[in-house]
C-alpha cells in the first residue's frame, strides 16, 4: 500500500519537486538532521505557535489518541467537530491516501454534515508574509475537510509572525492545488521521474547533503549558477547534460544551438563561461567589475529581523580611510526598542554629523555591503525610524552591494554566487563550520533566511533577546567580524579582477551632481 | 497628510535616480539592447530649433515626449539635455528638441548616443499640493474639499439644482441607462463623483457629456489626466459631440506635437493660457496634465469642475494636485485596468495605489459603474466581466452577437473560426523567458492568413505581449512571413505591450505570452499576471481574441500569495478555454494545440 501524502510533502514539493521522489522512493537514512540555524528557526516557530495558541485558543480542544494511530485520531477529531467546539488544535484529517494535521480548525456558522456549523483550517507560521507552500498546506486540509464535513471551506488562513491573520479564498486557488496533488500522486504511484536541481532552497532540506554529493558526482548542470530548471531541461534535451558538456561546448556547437533556437548566443556564452569556472574550479571574469580602488571604504554588515519591516538590530562597521587607517565599531540593539537609536547612530557614524567637518572627510567614500543595506531594506528602516535624510540618502544611493557585483562580474565555481559560497570556495571559517571549504555549495536563500552568510544572526539574536545569554551575542559579533573581513577580501579580489580586465574602475559618477540633480 | 505623500514622492525620486545611475553605468551596448538608449545618431537636417537625426531601426523603449541626454555615450550627464519630439523606427528618423528648461547654447551635436534622463518634477508637484496641506490656504482657495475627498469624507450627494439640470440635459439623450445614471451623478455631485468605465463602456462619451453640460452653464472646466493622449481623447469627444458648445472655448495646454490630433478639430495647443482668454460668464474647457494644471492655477483658479480621466493610472498626489485647482471633482477611470507606474514601488505603501482605487475603497458602494460594453461580443466579454467586475458588465445588444467576417477556407480555420470568440493556442516550448520564437511564428502565420486570405485590414489587428522583447520577436517574424509587412499594406498593425494599447480596440487581437520558463514565470508573476494588464490585453478585441501561450504559463507557482492569486487567474483563463476535442458546438471559448 502506498504511503499517505501529507501536507509536509506538499510544502516541500513546492520548494523542490525532487523532494517528493526522495520522500517516497529515497533511502530515509540519507536524509540529515536540520543544521543549527534551521533547528533554531523550527524551535522559534514552535514557540510562536505555542504562545499564539495559548493566547487565542484557550477554549479549544485537542483530540486524544494513541501515537500515530491516525484512524483513532480522525475519530477523536470528528467527535470534537460534531460536538461543535470553538476550535480543534492539531486535529487529524485523513482520507484513503492523505493525512493532514492542521494547527487550527476553527468553527464557523453554516450547515454541513456536522450540523449547523463547519470548520475552517488554518496554520500558524513564523514568517512575515504568507508563502505559496504554506497556503497549499491549508488547501490540502481544505480538501480533506470537504470530504469529512461535506462542505468546502470558503477560505483558509495563516497566522503570521506578527500575529495577524492572512485569509485567502479557497475556490480560486484549488485548481492549482489539485494539479500539485495530482503530480505528487504520479510521483508516488507511477514513479514519474523528477531530477535533482540544486537551488537556494536546498539549505533547509534534509536531503541537501545527498543531493549535493550526487550533483558533484554527476557534475550536474545545477552546479552552475544561473542555470535554472527550465534551462537545464532544455540543455539536456540537446544532449548537454553535465558541467563538462556545457564547459566544452564549441563555438560551432553554440552557433548551431542558437540557429536551432534552443538558446541564444547571448545566453549560451555566459553560461559556458560559468560552466568552465565550475569545471576548472577557478573563478572567471565575465565583465569588469565597477569597484573603486582600495583602500578607502566603509564595510558594513547589517542584519534585520525578517519578521518586521525596519527591524535592523546589527550594524558591524569597518572604516578604512585613504591612509589605510582602520576603525571598527559594532552597533547592536538588544531589544526592538533600541533599534531606532541604533539606526540614528549608524547614520551619524556612516556619514557626516552636523557638528564637525566630517561631511567633507567622508563624502564619497564607498559603502560596501552584501545585501544588508539594499535600497528596499534601508527604505523600510528609515520609514520605521526616521533619521538624518541626507545621511539616509547617502546610504540609499551610494551603497555598493558586493554580492550583486560578484554575481554580475565573476563566474564562480560554486552553485551560488553568494558571499558565503564564494568565501567558502576561496577559504574561510564559518561560525558553525557548515558549508566552508572548497567546493561546498552555499545557499543564498539560507542567507536571506538567517540574516547572514557566516552566522545565523537572526535566530541567534532571538535567542539572546529571549534568554539574555551573552554567549549568543558573542557568536553574532564574532560572525559579523568574519563577514566584514570577507567583504573586504571580496572587494580586493573584485578590484584585482577589474585591473586584469584592463578597465578603469568607475569613479566618474560618484559625488558629482549635475544641474538637475541626477548623477 | 503631507508626510506620507512627501515620503512617497521622495522614495520614487530616489528609486528613479538610483535606477538611472545603475543604467548609466552599463556599457552602451547593454543600454541599447535594453532599449533605454539609441546609439549611432547622425544629424541630417535642422528644422528651426528641432534637429533631425538618422537612427538604426532597433526597438527602443524611448518614446516621443521623453527627456534624454545626447552625448558621446560615456559621460552621459555631460551631454545635451533634449526632448524627443518624434521617433519613426521604420523610417529610421528621430527628431529632437532642446530641453525647454536647460541652458544649452551652440549648435546641436552632429551625432552620438541618446540616453534616458530623469525629469524630476517632484518639487513642482509638492509645491502644487501645499494649498491642500495648509488648512487655511486650502479653504481660501476652495480646495479644502480635496482633503475631505481623499480622506473619504467628501459629499457625494447631489445638489438639487444640479440634479434638475442633469435631468433636463440634452447631452444625456443618447446615453444608455447606466451612462445616464453616471452622468446625472457627475453633474449633480456636490463635491465628488466616481465613474467607473470598464473596457468599451463609453466612459469618454460620458466624460464629454459632463463637460458639455458644464460648458452650457458657463462653467470653467479643467480636464486633466497623466498623459496628453487621455486628455486629447476627451477634448476630441467634446469637440466632436459638442455642436451645442459652439462659441465656448476649448484649450489644450502643451506643446504642438502633444495635441497634433486636436488641430483638425479646431483646438490649438498652447504652452500657457493668458489671463482673460475667456469673458466672465463664458464657459471654458482647458485640458492640462496633472503637472500642467499646477502652473495653470496661477491664472485660472478655481475651476468650477475638475474632470480627471484615466484615473486608474493617476497616483494619489498627482490627482490631488489637479483637484486643488477646482471646486469639485469628477473622477473617471477603472482600477481594474492598468494601474499607475510607481518608481520604487512594491513596498505595500497605500500611496502606490491610483486615486481611483483609493477612492473606490473609501466610497465603496457609491461608484457609478458603466455596465454595457459596446466593444466586445459575448464570448470575449465573459471572462473579464466575471473575474474583474463580478459579472456586472454585459455586452451591449449591438455588440453581443457580432462575429468576425471571414472568407471561406484557410489553413487555420479551427483557430480563426468566427463562432469561437476566444481561442487559446497552446504552443509547446521550454525555458523561454521574455520571448519565444515559437509563439512569434504562430502569430505571424495567423496574421498572414487573416490579412492575405481573409482580407482583414491590418489596422483592425493588434498583437499584444507582456514583453517588449517578445513584441520585437513577433515583428521580426511578421516581416519574414509577410514580406509586405515593411510597407504600407501592413500599416496600422499594432505590435506592442498592453501599456501602449490601453484605450484602443481592434476587430482581432492576439495576446501572446512569450514565456515558458516556470521559475521565471513564478518569479515575475506579479508583473506578468498583473490583473490590470491581463484585463486590458483581454478586452481590446471586438469579435476575435486569440491567446497564444505555452501550457507552462498556466502552471506557474510563484512563492508570494498575491502572485499566486494572479497565477490562479491565468490558470482560470486556461481552464475557461475548453480543449477543442471536448468542446460542444455552442462553446465559444476553446483551446487548440498548435502543431507544425
> Are the CB atoms for B531 and A135 separated by under 8 Å?
no
Asked if residue A515 has pLDDT above 80, the reply is no
| Same domain, residue pair B103 and B229 | no
| Same domain, residue pair A231 and A364 | no
pLDDT at A516: 29
Asked if residue B429 has pLDDT above 80, the reply is yes
| Same domain, residue pair A434 and A373 | yes
pLDDT at A424: 65
Q: Residue A437's pLDDT band (boundaries 50, 70, 90)?
A: very low
Chain A: closest CA distance from residue B418 (Å): 30
| Same domain, residue pair B242 and B354 | yes
> Are the CB atoms for B56 and B39 separated by under 8 Å?
yes
pLDDT at B277: 67
- Residue A460: exposure state from Cβ atoms within 10 A (0-12, 13-18, ≥19): buried
pLDDT at B486: 55
Q: Which residue of A has its CA nearest to B121?
A: A516
A contact residues 254-313, partner B, Cβ 8 Å cutoff: 261, 263, 290
Q: What average pLDDT does range A428-446 have in this prediction?
A: 37
Count the neighbouring beta carbons within 10 Å of the beta carbon of residue A140. Answer: 27
pLDDT at B27: 80
| Same domain, residue pair B134 and B275 | yes
Asked if residue B243 has pLDDT above 70, the reply is no
Q: Residue A445's pLDDT band (boundaries 50, 70, 90)?
A: very low
Mutate to test the interface with B, among A13, A132, A184, A197 (most CBs of B within 10 A): A132
**How do strand B494-497 and strand B461-465 relate by DSSP bridges?**
parallel
C-alpha cell at A438: 572548497
Q: Which of A193-197, B117-121, B547-551 has the lowest mean pLDDT?
A: B117-121
- At B417, give phi and psi (nearest 5°): -45, 120
Task: Using a CB–CB cutoff of 8 Å, tell me whether B431 touches chain A.
Answer: yes
| Same domain, residue pair A237 and A323 | no
**Average pLDDT of the residues of chain A:** 85
Instruction: Identify which of B118, B438, B568 has the shortest CB distance to residue A175.
Output: B568
> Are the CB atoms for A230 and B517 separated by under 8 Å?
yes
Task: Give percent of chain A with pLDDT exceeding 70.
Answer: 87
Residue matched to cell numbers 552555499: A442
pLDDT at A192: 83
A contact residues 387-426, partner B, Cβ 8 Å cutoff: 393, 396-397
* Parent domain of B64: 22-116
Q: Of the spans A489-503, A504-518, B142-156, B357-371, which averages the highest pLDDT?
A: B357-371
pLDDT at B359: 97
| Same domain, residue pair A170 and A272 | no
Rounded to an integer, what distance in angstroms lies between the CA atom of residue A175 and that of residue B568? 8
Mutate to test the interface with A, among B8, B122, B568, B596 (most CBs of A within 10 A): B568
In a domain, A319, yes or no: yes
- At B222, give phi and psi (nearest 5°): -105, 125
Asked if residue B580 has pLDDT above 90, the reply is yes
Asked if residue A447 has pLDDT above 60, the reply is no
- At B71, give phi and psi (nearest 5°): -145, -175
Size of interface A-B (CB pairs under 8 A): 109
* Residue B50: strand pairing partners: B47
C-alpha cell at A414: 560554486
Contacts of A164 (CB under 8 A, 6+ apart): none
Chain A: closest CA distance from residue B37 (Å): 17
The CATH number of the domain holding residue A225 is: 1.10.150.20
| Same domain, residue pair B230 and B290 | yes
Q: What average pLDDT does range B130-147 have in this prediction?
A: 76
Asked if residue B278 has pLDDT above 80, the reply is no
Contact B344 A379 (CB under 8 A): yes
pLDDT in tens, B470-510: 988 998 899 888 876 555 446 678 898 898 888 889 999 99
| A515 contacts in chain B (CB < 8 Å) | 102
> Are the CB atoms for B198 and B388 separated by under 8 Å?
yes
pLDDT at A418: 74
Alpha helix ranges (H) inside B372-524: 378-389, 397-400, 413-416, 437-448, 468-481, 498-501, 518-523
pLDDT at A455: 55
- Residue B349: exposure state from Cβ atoms within 10 A (0-12, 13-18, ≥19): middle
pLDDT at A362: 45
Q: Residue A111's pLDDT band (boundaries 50, 70, 90)?
A: very high
Helix (H) or strand (E) holding A6: strand A5-6
pLDDT at A135: 98
Instruction: Identify which of A173, A176, A234 has the shortest CB distance to residue B431.
Output: A234
In a domain, B527, yes or no: yes
pLDDT at A189: 95
Q: Which of A485-494, B11-20, B83-92 has the lowest mean pLDDT?
A: B83-92
Contact B567 A176 (CB under 8 A): yes
| Same domain, residue pair A342 and A272 | no
> Are the CB atoms for A368 and A300 separated by under 8 Å?
yes
**How do strand A104-112 and strand A115-124 relate by DSSP bridges?**
antiparallel
DSSP string, B523-544: HTHHHHT-HHHHHHHHTSEEEE
B328 three-class SS: coil
B220 three-class SS: strand
Q: Which residue of B has its CA nearest to A170?
A: B565
Residue matched to cell numbers 479564498: A169
Contact B571 A175 (CB under 8 A): yes
Q: Which residue of A has its CA nearest to B565?
A: A173
Asked if residue B315 has pLDDT above 70, the reply is yes
Helix (H) or strand (E) holding B289: strand B284-289
Helix (H) or strand (E) holding A124: strand A115-124
Task: Give percent of chain B with pLDDT exceeding 70.
Answer: 93
pLDDT at A262: 77
pLDDT at B32: 85
Q: Residue B117's pLDDT band (boundaries 50, 70, 90)?
A: confident
In a domain, A78, yes or no: yes
Q: Which of A156-160, A474-478, B371-375 has the lowest mean pLDDT?
A: A474-478
Instruction: Identify which of B81, B346, B555 has the shortest CB distance to residue A179.
Output: B555
* Parent domain of A54: 5-190
pLDDT in tens, B442-452: 999 999 999 99
Query: Whose CA is closest to A96, among A198, A197, A3, A220?
Result: A3
pLDDT at A513: 30
More confident residue, A432 or B423: B423
Q: What average pLDDT does range B266-291 have in this prediction?
A: 80
In a domain, B537, yes or no: yes
| A230 contacts in chain B (CB < 8 Å) | 430-431, 516-520
| Same domain, residue pair A321 and A358 | yes
* Angle at the Cα of A229 from the Cα atoms of A226 and A231, rounded to 5 degrees: 65
Task: Using a CB–CB cutoff of 8 Å, tell me whether B121 touches chain A.
Answer: no
More confident residue, A106 or B4: A106
Checking ipTM against 0.85, whether it exceeds it is yes
In a domain, B271, yes or no: yes
Q: What average pLDDT does range A208-216 have in this prediction?
A: 92
pLDDT at B85: 86
| A166 contacts in chain B (CB < 8 Å) | 561
- At B403, give phi and psi (nearest 5°): -130, 150
Q: Which residue of A has its CA nearest to B436?
A: A261
Q: Of the spans A262-266, A498-502, B79-83, B238-242, which averages the highest pLDDT?
A: B79-83
3-state secondary structure B372-411: EECCCCHHHHHHHHHHHHCCCCEECHHHHCCCCCCCCCCC
| Same domain, residue pair A77 and A213 | no
Q: What average pLDDT does range B305-334 have in this prediction?
A: 95
Asked if residue A68 has pLDDT above 80, the reply is yes
Chain A: closest CA distance from residue B245 (Å): 43
Q: Residue A511's pLDDT band (boundaries 50, 70, 90)?
A: very low
- At B553, give phi and psi (nearest 5°): -60, -35
| B472 contacts in chain A (CB < 8 Å) | none
C-alpha cell at B466: 507582456
Q: What average pLDDT does range A90-108 have in this prediction?
A: 97
| B565 contacts in chain A (CB < 8 Å) | 168, 172-173
| Same domain, residue pair B187 and B226 | yes
B contact residues 79-98, partner A, Cβ 8 Å cutoff: 81
Domain boundary among A138, A159, A190: A190
Ranges of beta strands (E only) in A456-518 are none
| Same domain, residue pair A310 and A437 | yes
| B29 contacts in chain A (CB < 8 Å) | none
| Same domain, residue pair A227 and A357 | no
In a domain, B174, yes or no: no
* Residue B394: strand pairing partners: B372
Helix (H) or strand (E) holding B208: helix B203-216
**Average pLDDT of the residues of chain B:** 89
Q: What average pLDDT does range A321-332 have in this prediction?
A: 90
The CATH number of the domain holding residue B101 is: 2.40.30
Q: Which residue of A has its CA nearest to B568?
A: A173
Q: Residue A251's pLDDT band (boundaries 50, 70, 90)?
A: confident
Mutate to test the interface with A, among B19, B33, B77 (most CBs of A within 10 A): B77
Overall number of domains in chain A: 3
| Same domain, residue pair B222 and B310 | yes
| Same domain, residue pair B334 and B464 | no
Contact A233 B430 (CB under 8 A): yes
Asked whether the CA dihedral B168, B171, B172, B178 is positive or negative, the reply is: negative
pLDDT at B248: 61
pLDDT at B102: 67
| A228 contacts in chain B (CB < 8 Å) | 431, 517, 519-520
| Same domain, residue pair A125 and A206 | no
Asked whether the CA dihedral A498, A503, A505, A510 is positive or negative, the reply is: negative
Asked if residue A22 has pLDDT above 60, the reply is yes
Overall number of domains in chain B: 3
| Same domain, residue pair B450 and B551 | yes
Q: Which residue of A has its CA nearest to B558?
A: A132
Q: What average pLDDT does range B179-193 have in this prediction?
A: 94
Task: Using a CB–CB cutoff of 8 Å, tell me whether A376 touches chain B.
Answer: yes
Q: Which residue of B has its CA nearest to A11?
A: B559
Chain A: closest CA distance from residue B305 (Å): 34
Instruction: Identify which of B24, B431, B575 has the shortest CB distance to residue A231.
Output: B431
C-alpha cell at A503: 578597465
pLDDT at A425: 63
pLDDT at B24: 83
Task: Using a CB–CB cutoff of 8 Å, tell me whether A335 touches chain B.
Answer: no
B contact residues 183-222, partner A, Cβ 8 Å cutoff: none
| Same domain, residue pair A328 and A457 | yes
Asked if residue A199 has pLDDT above 70, the reply is yes
Residue matched to cell numbers 547589517: A302
Contact B347 A380 (CB under 8 A): yes
CA distances from B51 to A241, B86, B205 (A): 54, 10, 39
The CATH number of the domain holding residue A16 is: 3.90.320
Contact B559 A131 (CB under 8 A): yes
| Same domain, residue pair A21 and A91 | yes
Q: What average pLDDT does range B526-552 have in this prediction?
A: 96
Phi-psi region of A239 (alpha: psi -120 to 50; beta: other; left: phi over 0): left
More confident residue, A290 or A516: A290
Q: Which of A289-293, A459-463, B414-418 has the lowest mean pLDDT?
A: A289-293
Amino acid at each position: 500500500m502506498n504511503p499517505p501524502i501529507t501536507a509536509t510533502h506538499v510544502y516541500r514539493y513546492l520548494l523542490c519537486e525532487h523532494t517528493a521522489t526522495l520522500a517516497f522512493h529515497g533511502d530515509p537514512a540519507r536524509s540529515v538532521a536540520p543544521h543549527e540555524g534551521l533547528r533554531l528557526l523550527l524551535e522559534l516557530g514552535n514557540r510562536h505557535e505555542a504562545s499564539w495558541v495559548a493566547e487565542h485558543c484557550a477554549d479549544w480542544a485537542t483530540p486524544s489518541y494513541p501515537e500515530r494511530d491516525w484512524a483513532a485520531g480522525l475519530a477523536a477529531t470528528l467527535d470534537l467537530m460534531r460536538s461543535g467546539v470553538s476550535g480543534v488544535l492539531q486535529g487529524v484529517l485523513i482520507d484513503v491516501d492523505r493525512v493532514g494535521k492542521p494547527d487550527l480548525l476553527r468553527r464557523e456558522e453554516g450547515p454541513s454534515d456536522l450540523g449547523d456549523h463547519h470548520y475552517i483550517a488554518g496554520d500558524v507560521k513564523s514568517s512575515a508574509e504568507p508563502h505559496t507552500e504554506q497556503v497549499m498546506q491549508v488547501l490540502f486540509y481544505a480538501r480533506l475537510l470537504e470530504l469529512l464535513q461535506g462542505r468546502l471551506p470558503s477560505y483558509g488562513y495563516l497566522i503570521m509572525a506578527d500575529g495577524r491573520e492572512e485569509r485567502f479564498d479557497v475556490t480560486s486557488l484549488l485548481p492549482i492545488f489539485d494539479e500539485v496533488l495530482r503530480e505528487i500522486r504520479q510521483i508516488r504511484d507511477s514513479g514519474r521521474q523528477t531530477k535533482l536541481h540544486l537551488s537556494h532552497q536546498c539549505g533547509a532540506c534534509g536531503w541537501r547533503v545527498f543531493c549535493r554529493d550526487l550533483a558533484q558526482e554527476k557534475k550536474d548542470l545545477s552546479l552552475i549558477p544561473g542555470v535554472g530548471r527550465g534551462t537545464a531541461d532544455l540543455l539536456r534535451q540537446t544532449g548537454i547534460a553535465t558541467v563538462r558538456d556545457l564547459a566544452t561546448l564549441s563555438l560551432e556547437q553554440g552557433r548551431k544551438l542558437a540557429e536551432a533556437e534552443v538558446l541564444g548566443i547571448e545566453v549560451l556564452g555566459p553560461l559556458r563561461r560559468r560552466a568552465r569556472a565550475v569545471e576548472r574550479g577557478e573563478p572567471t571574469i565575465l565583465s569588469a567589475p565597477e569597484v573603486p580602488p582600495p583602500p578607502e571604504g566603509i564595510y558594513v554588515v547589517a542584519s534585520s529581523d525578517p519578521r518586521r519591516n525596519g527591524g535592523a538590530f546589527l550594524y558591524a562597521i569597518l572604516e578604512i580611510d585613504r591612509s589605510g587607517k582602520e576603525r571598527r565599531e559594532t552597533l547592536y540593539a538588544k531589544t526592538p526598542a533600541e533599534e531606532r537609536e541604533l539606526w540614528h547612530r549608524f547614520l551619524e557614524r556612516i556619514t557626516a554629523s552636523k557638528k564637525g567637518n566630517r561631511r567633507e572627510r567622508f563624502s564619497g567614500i564607498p559603502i560596501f555591503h552584501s545585501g544588508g543595506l539594499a535600497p528596499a531594506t534601508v527604505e523600510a528602516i528609515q520609514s520605521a525610524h526616521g533619521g538624518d535624510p541626507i545621511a539616509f540618502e547617502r546610504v540609499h544611493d551610494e551603497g555598493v552591494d558586493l554580492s550583486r557585483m560578484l554575481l554580475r562580474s565573476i563566474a564562480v565555481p560554486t552553485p551560488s554566487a553568494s558571499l558565503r559560497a564564494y568565501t567558502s570556495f576561496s577559504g574561510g571559517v564559518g561560525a558553525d563550520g557548515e558549508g566552508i571549504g572548497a567546493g561546498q555549495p552555499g545557499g543564498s536563500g539560507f542567507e536571506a533566511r538567517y540574516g547572514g552568510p557566516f552566522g545565523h544572526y537572526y535566530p541567534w539574536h532571538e535567542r539572546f533577546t529571549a534568554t539574555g545569554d551573552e554567549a549568543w551575542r558573542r557568536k553574532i559579533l564574532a560572525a559579523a567580524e568574519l563577514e566584514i573581513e570577507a567583504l573586504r577580501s571580496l572587494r580586493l579580489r573584485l578590484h584585482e579582477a577589474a585591473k586584469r580586465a584592463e578597465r578603469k574602475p568607475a569613479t566618474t559618477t560618484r559625488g558629482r551632481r549635475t544641474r538637475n540633480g541626477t548623477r | 497628510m503631507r508626510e506620507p505623500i512627501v515620503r512617497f514622492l521622495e522614495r520614487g525620486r530616489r528609486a528613479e535616480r538610483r535606477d538611472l545611475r545603475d543604467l548609466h553605468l552599463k556599457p552602451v551596448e547593454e543600454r541599447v539592447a535594453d532599449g533605454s538608449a539609441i546609439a549611432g545618431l547622425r544629424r541630417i537636417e535642422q528644422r528651426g530649433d528641432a534637429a533631425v537625426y538618422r537612427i538604426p531601426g532597433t526597438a527602443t523603449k524611448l518614446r516621443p515626449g521623453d527627456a534624454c541626454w545626447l552625448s558621446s555615450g560615456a559621460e552621459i550627464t555631460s551631454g545635451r539635455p533634449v526632448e524627443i519630439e518624434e521617433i519613426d523606427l521604420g523610417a529610421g528618423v528621430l527628431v529632437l528638441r532642446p530641453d525647454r528648461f536647460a541652458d544649452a547654447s551652440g549648435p546641436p551635436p552632429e551625432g552620438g548616443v541618446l540616453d534616458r534622463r530623469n525629469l524630476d518634477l517632484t518639487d513642482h508637484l509638492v509645491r502644487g499640493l501645499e494649498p491642500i496641506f495648509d488648512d487655511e490656504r486650502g479653504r481660501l482657495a476652495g480646495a479644502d474639499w480635496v482633503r475631505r475627498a481623499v480622506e473619504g469624507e467628501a459629499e457625494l450627494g447631489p445638489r438639487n439644482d444640479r440634479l434638475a439640470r442633469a435631468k433636463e440635459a440634452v447631452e444625456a439623450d443618447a446615453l444608455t441607462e447606466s451612462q445616464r445614471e453616471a452622468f446625472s451623478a457627475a453633474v449633480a455631485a456636490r463635491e465628488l463623483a466616481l465613474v467607473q468605465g470598464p473596457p468599451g463602456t463609453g466612459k469618454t462619451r460620458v466624460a464629454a457629456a459632463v463637460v458639455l453640460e458644464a460648458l452650457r452653464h458657463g462653467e470653467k472646466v479643467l480636464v486633466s489626466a497623466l498623459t496628453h493622449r487621455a486628455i486629447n481623447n476627451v477634448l476630441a469627444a467634446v469637440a466632436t459631440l459638442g455642436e451645442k458648445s459652439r462659441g465656448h472655448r476649448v484649450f489644450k495646454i502643451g506643446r504642438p506635437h502633444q495635441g497634433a490630433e486636436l488641430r483638425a478639430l479646431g483646438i490649438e495647443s498652447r504652452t500657457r493660457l493668458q489671463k482673460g482668454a475667456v469673458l466672465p460668464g463664458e464657459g471654458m474647457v482647458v485640458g492640462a496634465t496633472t503637472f500642467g494644471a499646477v502652473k495653470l492655477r496661477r491664472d485660472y483658479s478655481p475651476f468650477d469642475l475638475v474632470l480627471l480621466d484615466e484615473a486608474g493610472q493617476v497616483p494619489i498626489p498627482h490627482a490631488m494636485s489637479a483637484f486643488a485647482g477646482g471646486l469639485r471633482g469628477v473622477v473617471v477611470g477603472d482600477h481594474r485596468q492598468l494601474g499607475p507606474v510607481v518608481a520604487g514601488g512594491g513596498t505595500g505603501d497605500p500611496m502606490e495605489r491610483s486615486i481611483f482605487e483609493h477612492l473606490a475603497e473609501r466610497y465603496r458602494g457609491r461608484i457609478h459603474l458603466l455596465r454595457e460594453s459596446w466593444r466586445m461580443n459575448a464570448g470575449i466579454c465573459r471572462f473579464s466581466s466575471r473575474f474583474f467586475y463580478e459579472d456586472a458588465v454585459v455586452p451591449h445588444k449591438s455588440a453581443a452577437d457580432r462575429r468576425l467576417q471571414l472568407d471561406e477556407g484557410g489553413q487555420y480555420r479551427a483557430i480563426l473560426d468566427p463562432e469561437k470568440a476566444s481561442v487559446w493556442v497552446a504552443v509547446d516550448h521550454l525555458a523561454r523567458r521574455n520571448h519565444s520564437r515559437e509563439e512569434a511564428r504562430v502569430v505571424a502565420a495567423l496574421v498572414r492568413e487573416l490579412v492575405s486570405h481573409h482580407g482583414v485590414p491590418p489596422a483592425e489587428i493588434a498583437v499584444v505581449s507582456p514583453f517588449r522583447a517578445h513584441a520585437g520577436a513577433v515583428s521580426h517574424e511578421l516581416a519574414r512571413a509577410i514580406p509586405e509587412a515593411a510597407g504600407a499594406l501592413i500599416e496600422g498593425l499594432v505590435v506592442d505591450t498592453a501599456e501602449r494599447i490601453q484605450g484602443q480596440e481592434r476587430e482581432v487581437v492576439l495576446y501572446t505570452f512569450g514565456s515558458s520558463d516556470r521559475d521565471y514565470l513564478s518569479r515575475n508573476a506579479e508583473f506578468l499576471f498583473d490583473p490590470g494588464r491581463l484585463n486590458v490585453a483581454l478586452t481590446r478585441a471586438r469579435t476575435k481574441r486569440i491567446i497564444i501561450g505555452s501550457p507552462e504559463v498556466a502552471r506557474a507557482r510563484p512563492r508570494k500569495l498575491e502572485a499566486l492569486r494572479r497565477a490562479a487567474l491565468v490558470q482560470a483563463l486556461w481552464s475557461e478555454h475548453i480543449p477543442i476535442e471536448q468542446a460542444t458546438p455552442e462553446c465559444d471559448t476553446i483551446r487548440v494545440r498548435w502543431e507544425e
